[in-house]
Chains A and B, each alone.
Chain A
Amino acid sequence: SAVISQKPSRDICQRGTSLTIQCQVDSQVTMMFWYRQQPGQSLTLIATANQGSEATYESGFVIDKFPISRPNLTFSTLTVSNMSPEDSSIYLCSVVRDYLDTQYFGPGTRLTVL
């Protein structure tokens, strides 16, 4: 399996500010994804982070609100911009090492917006 770390593990932020979440993997991976888990809910895919190009966003998620970078094959960031209390969630990155591999998940970042 892949070893995935996320920073920060949790944060409490004020409305209107932005937070950048980092996802670091211990080895090169082909795919990286960002998911959101709202309180008491399941996981929803935000976007696929593409190495060296713009992320691919799912319906309901836009780049201005959730800008994503993936500068190389082991690292990605997700920014939650202009936050509101509705953005309070756990944000998880996941990776796939190569074709037909399983998705492995990071420990998540628990975000609370006041």
Chain B
Amino acid sequence: AQSVTQLDSQVPVFEEAPVELRCNYSSSVSVYLFWYVQYPNQGLQLLLKYLSGSTLVKGINGFEAEFNKSQTSFHLRKPSVHISDTAEYFCAVSENSGNTPLVFGKGTRLSVIA
């Protein structure tokens, strides 16, 4: 069975500072990895995904993530955050194909401070 661990439930960071949101996963098979963002009172929006190929994945809004198979990690990073990045971020994994349901981590609340 798959599982996803997001090590930080809350991350406060000052505006224009860099941020890293950590995600580790466990699975016995090949996985697809995703980061979703949920702004207050809204649904989930896909930030980026890793399916195969280059381990460094670039997404929307200046975010990127690096897939590290040996460490089973998929950490999300942004070099300079904005107030508008304040949201809940979810790491998720699916097994083998996009047709399998996602298993989500518990989420990380990013709070950007002016």
Contact = CB atoms under 8 A, between A and B. Distances in A.
Interface of A: 1, 30-31, 33, 41-45, 48, 92, 94, 96, 99-108, 110
A102 B2 CA distance: 18
A104 B44 CA distance: 8
A110 B42 CA distance: 10
A105 B101 CA distance: 12
A22 B106 CA distance: 26
Given A102-B34, A102-B49, A105-B36, A96 B98 contact: yes
A31 B99 CA distance: 7
A99 B98 contact: yes
Nearest to B49: A102
27 contacts: A30-B99, A31-B99, A33-B101, A41-B106, A41-B107, A42-B107, A43-B90, A45-B101, A45-B102, A48-B101, A94-B102, A99-B99, A100-B97, A100-B98, A101-B98, A102-B34, A102-B46, A102-B98, A103-B46, A103-B102, A104-B46, A105-B36, A105-B43, A105-B45, A106-B43, A107-B43, A108-B42
